[in-house]
Amino acid sequence: MTVKAFKDSLRQAAPPDGLSPLLQALWYEGKGDWHTAHNIAQDVPGPDGSWVHAYLHRVEGDDWNANYWYRRAGRSMPGHSLKEEWTVLVAHFLGQ
């Protein structure tokens, strides 16, 4: 799947079949359903789960919590927009 196809899927009522949990979380966040996205991401262990979790707290406006999760992911808070970070995350987890 391409990033464009992933973005286009946001017009659907449900995420495409076969998405990893982190892509599901990003799909729900892309639909504006932060709570479902957060519930999925917080259950994914390791740096990748922490990275998406950090992004979601950044979306929420909780920079302190976001920074905690970025550190757990071995990253720092990016200087680009939330929209750009969402695209970077989607591309990363799609393997692009």
3-state secondary structure string across 20-71: CHHHHHHHHHHCCCHHHHHHHHCCCCHHHHHHHHHHHHHHHCCHHHHHHHHH
- Within a domain: residue 13? no
Q: Is residue 14 part of a domain?
A: no
Chain segment 53-70, per-residue pLDDT in tens: 999 999 999 999 999 999
**Is 15 within a domain?**
no
Cβ–Cβ under 8 Å, residues 22 and 44: yes
Confidence of residue 89 (pLDDT cuts 50, 70, 90): very high
Q: How far is residue 85 from each of residues 4, 12, 18, 45, 95, measured CA to CA in Å?
A: 15, 22, 22, 20, 15
Range of the domain at 30: 3-8+20-93
Q: In this predicted model, what pLDDT tens digit does every residue of 22-58 receive, in sequence order? A: 999 999 999 999 999 999 999 999 999 999 999 999 9
- This prediction has a pTM of 0.95
Torsion of CA 85, 49, 72, 51, to 10 degrees: 0
pLDDT at 15: 96
- Give the pLDDT score at 45: 95
**Above 90 in pLDDT, residue 96?**
no
Could you tell me the pLDDT band of residue 83, with boundaries at 50, 70 and 90?
Answer: very high
Name the domain count of the chain: 1
